[in-house]
Each structure stands twice: as C-alpha cells, then as structure tokens.
Amino acid sequence: MNTPVEGFSKLSKTQKIDWIATNCTKDPKKTKQLLQQYWNTDPRVQKLHDEFIENTISNYYLPFAIAPNFMINGDLFAIPMAIEESSVVAAASKSAKFWLERGGFKTEILGTEKVGQVHFIYNGDKNKLSNFFTSVKPQLLKSITSIAQNMEKRGGGINNIELRDLSNKIKGYYQLHCTFETLDAMGANFINSCLEQFAKTLKELALSFNDFTEEEKNIEVVMSILSNYVPNCLVKAEVSCPVSELGNADMPAKEFAEKFVQAVNIAKVEPYRAVTHNKGIMNGIDAVVLATGNDFRAVEAGVHAYAAKDGQYSSLTHARIEDGIFKFWIEVPLALGTVGGLTSLHPLVKVALEILQNPTAKELMQVVAVAGLAQNFAAVRSLVTTGIQKGHMKMHLLNMLNQLGATETEKQLLVTYFKDQTVTNASVKEALERIKK
C-alpha cells in the first residue's frame, strides 16, 4: 500500500517515476524500464506530450489505424481511427467497401448550435426577474464584446440568451440558457469565458435594479459552464439501396433486410439492447474523435443523453424498407473542432486531419457520423446472420496468441488453422499446446 505524498507535482519526472515505482509496484526496476520504454525517442516530441497533462510519467499507446474506401457525398475518404478493440477497424472497412458499391454514404448537417448555461438562485418575485432580464439582456450581450470579437469576425459568436425558470425543480433555481456558434472550434473555452462574464454582469446589474428588494438583489450564481448536451448540433448520415442488393452467402436479401430492421426496432424499444447497440456505434465514433484530437468523453455524454431524449434510452440508428428500398440512417449530436486544443499540437492528430483533407468542423461531423453508422451496420449484419463472435474472435486471435506467448511461426500456423475453425480461449490454447508438443 502506498503512502500519501506531499508536493508530487513539484517533483521532476524522474523523481515521480522513482516514487511511483518504489511505493506502488512490486518490481521498481522493471516498472521504471517499462515506463521509459514508451517514451518518444525524440526529446522534443516527448516534452510536448509531457505538457499535455499534469504529472506525466510515460505515454499510453493506442493503435492508430486506417479504415479505407469510405465514399461520402461522392468523395472518397480513408478514415483514421485510434482504438484498442479488435475488429472495429475491420468491421468499419468492410461496411465501407459494401456501401462503396451501392452509392456510398450521404450526409447532412442539421445544426451546429452549442449550449452554455449560467445557473443561479433567485428568491423573489418571478415577474420582477423576468422584467429585469428583459431590460438587461442588451447589456449582457454587450459585456462580452471583447471576448467575442474574434469569433464574430469569423462569423460565430452568441446566438441568444434566454431566462429559464426551473424553480419547480429546485427552490429559486433559474438559468441563463445561452446558445453559441463556434465554427471550426469546439468552443469550450470561448463559451465558458462568455458565461462567466454573463454571470458577473448579471450580479452587478441586479444590485442596481430599482424594482428588486434588498433580498432580491442578491442573486446567487452557483456555476457557469457549457453543456455537452448539444441536441441542435446535429448531423445525419444514411445509406440506401434496393433490398435485392443485400443478399449474401449467409442469408437471402429479403430475409436479411427484414431481420435487420427488426433488430434495429428491438434496440428502439429495449434499453438493455439499446445500450449495447449504441456502444457499437460509439466504437466507430470514438475512434475517429480520439484520432482527431477531440474530446470523446464529451461526445459520449452528449450522444447518450440524446439517445434518451424522448424519455427512454433508445437506438441512435433507424432502418426501414419502403417500396423495395432498404434505408439505414443515424442522427447524432457531435460538438467537434478542427482548430484549437490538440488539433494543432499532437503530431498524429495533425496527420489524421491531413488524411481527412483538413476538414472543417462540419465536414468532420459528417465523417464521424458515417464511421458510427458503418460500425453499426457491420455489427447488426453479423448479429442477424453468423453471430457476433465468429468475426470478433478471429480478429481477437492474435491478442490471444500474444498473451499465450506464441512465437511468430506458431502464430502463422494457427492463423491459418483457425480460418475455418471456431475461435475460443480454450480452442486456441489447446491448438497452441499441440503445436508446441
């Protein structure tokens, strides 16, 4: 058990490693070697990585992969993905190739509005507060002139401020609900700076509002923060083709299409299924979000909130058959940026964006939505035909062999052997033991 440490952040990198290895691991020497093994060989690059976050002692690597052959609105893309899960990239690539021959993916931006809120407590006459807000709204907007001027020059800025009464949920609870356009920036710092200024101005103006009593003048600002729920920052991606083009060796076209639609409908009404269904979508979405230096935790939170917007957690994707045409689509909120943050700092993020032809935030939204839709198509297709484990476990085979310490020759033999055999932990272990004997 380690002991408390004072001033850890002030220690040098070497001292941090010494302390963590000595106090928290069984073999300090081995731990130190392992941590240093993952340092970048270029000291300048390593220093850049060290400064992304606090108390850095090493780098945690994820595979950086490419899923090719994505036709999106008539243009061909190779999509970078950073993820550790087996079969995700393969599944996305398989979907991309399948739809490449059927017209590709079509996308549409439905909105780009971001949200931020000033949460405050006001114990007084509601009508007075409403009148106060109406009178001071122009001053609130004016108070962020210096903060917003650069964003406004590029065509963005504050869209609107609304006073919202939530005192039926918490006594005296109100909010300034603010909407923003942040263009190619994700916009968190800009939005939060505006909100904090709104809060300061709100409190100051309340003190001099003549209609308020002394108690009413003391508005208590609880917090000012952007929201990662962005239901109006929305993108749609879809694919479609005649049902007759969906046939494969595993199932006739009509049966496949009908089963696929039923599977999606089940995810719409059954939350237990919907969570796993949407997790598969996020395999594709998160992998691209991470590869392009965006905040996948924010995206996850917003997407899952959107999946529950109608009162029950439900599928993010939709499918139907109409007049012999199979249609499959997704509408998903994605607050992304292609400037600011890590986009101009992380070397691989720069490469990822270059691979995507240096997209705008809107273009990146469309690529990310397509990755999610492609991933979901592959997963549902497997589920209603061969089952999910057959493909997934074959992709997981190398991981299993590495864990068992197989040599390169043994890996090659077993990859060939399991091309037409069922992959399980037990079967792989048994086959490896046979080869070793």
- Residues identified as active-site: 85, 279, 295, 392
Measured from the Cβ of residue 51, the count of other Cβ atoms closer than 10 Å reads: 10
How far is it between the farthest Cα atoms of the chain?
91
- DSSP-based helix, strand, coil % in the chain, nearest 5: 50, 20, 30
Query: What are 181's strand-pairing partners?
Result: 157
H helices of 208-358, where? Answer: 214-217, 253-269, 271-291, 296-307, 347-355
Handedness of CA 300, 301, 305, 308 (dihedral sign): positive
Q: Find all residues with CB under 8 Å of 149, minimum gap 6, and list them.
A: none
Map tokens 């710092």 to a residue.
189
Compute the chain's Rg from CA coordinates: 26
Q: Cα separations (Å) of 256 from 32, 241, 278, 296, 386? A: 53, 13, 21, 33, 11
Residue whose C-alpha is closest to residue 364's, from 293, 282, 413: 293
Q: Look up residue 83 and give its two tokens.
A: 């993820």
What is the sign of the dihedral through the CA atoms of 320, 323, 324 and 329?
Answer: negative
By the 8 A CB rule, do 183 and 361 touch?
A: yes
**Dihedral pair phi/psi, residue 386, rounded to 5°:** -85, -15
How far apart CA 138 and CA 98 sit, in angstroms, is 54
DSSP 421: S
DSSP H stretches of helix in 86-166 = 88-100, 126-142, 145-153
- DSSP states along 6-61: SSGGGS-HHHHHHHHHHHH-S-HHHHHHHHHHTS-SSHHHHHHHHTTSSS--S---
